[in-house]
Each structure stands twice: as structure tokens, then as C-alpha cells.
Amino acid sequence: MPMAEIQKENGYVAIANDLLEALYRFALTRNEYKVMLCVIRHTYGYNKKEHPMSLTFIANDTGLVKERICEALNGLKVKKLLSVTPAKGVQPQILSVQKDPEKWIRVTENVTVTENVTVTENVINGYGKRNPKGYGKRNQGKTNNKYKEGKTESGAVEPPTPPTPKPVRHKHGEYKHVLLTDAQYNKLLSDYGSEKLEVYIRKVDEYCQQHGKTYADCNLTIRNWMRRDEVDKNDTRTETEVNDEWQT
């Protein structure tokens, strides 16, 4: 439409200021905004609360390929910005705007959206016919069994898997250069006994202090030093004997 013809008299969408302000302040993806504006245009733009909208309809209106549309619809449904009435037979799904922003749900970036809306078109051999603007051409002929006519894949929003906490490493020795977890310390204690373990903790600690060195794995360093000095788990030498051999 030429610029001169873009006038309110040629048509406009009546939308409450509070809803519009809440919408541009809410965190949505680019495709979610495009689909959301498309739904608003075909509902509020015609003074309607809801409207039947197939994937092809939305694709022709927004230029998005159907896979991206499904992702956007999933996100908007989970965030409670859209209400989706499932398709019945050949009738497409019906979309409506949740106009109460207090009912919207903010979803963090780490949450994976797995809930799928009803898809009413068979795109098993691709994403359907290429829309007039040519979007989605690269997807033609590809098999995609995720979206099938009349099929609904239900799911829920999965909370992000919390990262496994790393074991805390405690400082040992006079200069605190030897770092061991409780499990590492207890295993060394079980293998070599308290007296010999303290000898080698002191040796490693003093070596680090003297040479300005650090070890990424003090547990392995202590065991390597013990193997080098031929200190086995059944060693009965006293601390004095071990120190004498170390200094010779």
C-alpha cells in the first residue's frame, strides 16, 4: 500500500493501551512477536475475540516457515499469551489473545518449551507448499514427522536441570597449597594412614611455596609422589624414615 494510503480511515486495530504496553514490555522472541501481532490483527482488527488460523494462513501472513510458527505458538501458549482451541476434523485451531497480562507467565531462557499446539496440516513431506514470498524453500522435500495432520503432541514445561555441584576442595598444609575434597582426603587416609598422608601433604605444600607452583590435582600429585618414593598402602615406615629417604 502506498504511503499516502496508509491512513487510519482505511482500517485500524483497536487495542487497549494497557495491553499494548504490557506486550512490548514482555519478553518474547522475534517470531513470537510476529505471530502474536498476526493473531491480534485478525481478532481485534475485526472486533473479534478469536479466529480460526491454520499454519498456512499464518505463514502467508508473516512469511515464517511452519516449523518456526509451531515453535512460536508453543511459546505463546506456554507463556499464556494465547489460548488455543484444538482443531476438529478439517477445521483449523482457533486462537485468541489472553488480554489479562497478570495471567501471563514469564519463562526463563533455560527452560525448554516442550508443549506442542495442535497442527492441522499434513507437512510430513516438508513444511507444506511454498508461500508466495518463497520462504521455506530450502525445507521442501525434507521429511519431518514431528508435525502430522490431526495429531497433537502434549507435554509440559520441563524445569532446567540444575548443574551438578562440584565437590568442595579444602586447603591443607601450612601454606594452604594442597587442595583436597573430603572424599579424596578420606581415601588417602584410608590407603596410607594419617601419619604418612600428613608427611606428603607437607612435602607438596612446601614445594609449591618454595617454587611458586600449583597443582591442578593435588590428590594425584600426592599419589604420584608416594609411588615415586615406593610408599605402598601397607608401608610400615615411620615419618622419620620417610623424611630421611626424601633428604638423601
Residues 204 and 178 sit within 8 Å (Cβ to Cβ): yes
Is residue 56 located within the same domain as residue 126? yes
Beta-carbon contacts of 48 under 8 Å, excluding residues fewer than 6 positions away, are: 42
The pLDDT value given to residue 238: 58
Beta-carbon contacts of 97 under 8 Å, excluding residues fewer than 6 positions away, are: 19, 36, 39, 40, 43, 44, 49, 81, 82, 83
How many whole angstroms separate alpha carbon 123 and alpha carbon 150? 11
How many whole angstroms separate alpha carbon 150 and alpha carbon 6? 39
Is residue 211 located within the same domain as residue 122? no
Residues 60 and 66 sit within 8 Å (Cβ to Cβ): no
Is residue 77 located within the same domain as residue 176? no
Q: Which residue has the higher pLDDT, 125 or 66?
A: 66
Is residue 125 located within the same domain as residue 64? yes
Is residue 8 located within the same domain as residue 114? yes
Angle at 153 between CA 115 and CA 34, to 5 degrees: 50
Could you report the per-residue pLDDT of 126-139, keeping only the tens digit for each? 333 434 444 444 44
Tell me the backbone φ, ψ of residue 26, rounded to 5 degrees. Answer: -90, 145
**Residue 28 within any structural domain of the chain:** yes
Please state the domain count of the chain. 2
Could you report the per-residue pLDDT of 7-39, keeping only the tens digit for each? 887 888 888 899 899 998 998 999 999 999 999
Name the nearest CA neighbour of 136 among 41, 70, 39: 70
Is residue 186 located within the same domain as residue 134? no
**Residue 174 within any structural domain of the chain:** yes
Is residue 174 located within the same domain as residue 82? no
| Beta bridge partners of residue 170, listed in sequence order | 180
Name the nearest CA neighbour of 153 among 89, 50, 82, 70: 70
**Residue 163 within any structural domain of the chain:** no
Name the nearest CA neighbour of 83 among 72, 71, 73, 68: 73
| Residue 206 belongs to domain spanning | 169-243
All 3 cell numbers of residue 241? 624414615
Per-residue confidence band for 236, with pLDDT thresholds at 50, 70 and 90: low
Cα 132 to its chain centre, rounded Å, is 34
Is residue 108 located within the same domain as residue 185? no
**Residue 97 within any structural domain of the chain:** yes
How many whole angstroms separate alpha carbon 164 and alpha carbon 170? 18
Is residue 121 located within the same domain as residue 210? no
Q: What is the model's pTM?
A: 0.43
Domain harbouring 19, CATH code = 1.10.10.10
**Residue 33 within any structural domain of the chain:** yes
**Residue 150 within any structural domain of the chain:** no
SS3 82: strand
How many whole angstroms separate alpha carbon 63 and alpha carbon 134? 8
Q: How many residues are there in the chain?
A: 248
Could you report the per-residue pLDDT of 131-182, keeping only the tens digit for each? 444 444 444 444 444 444 444 444 555 566 777 888 899 999 999 999 999 9
Q: Which residue has the higher pLDDT, 241 or 29?
A: 29
**Residue 153 within any structural domain of the chain:** no
Q: Euclidean distance between the first and final Cα of the chain, in Å?
A: 94
- Give me the DSSP letters along 7-27: -GGG------HHHHHHHHHS-
Of 139, 156, 190, the residue that ends a domain is: 139
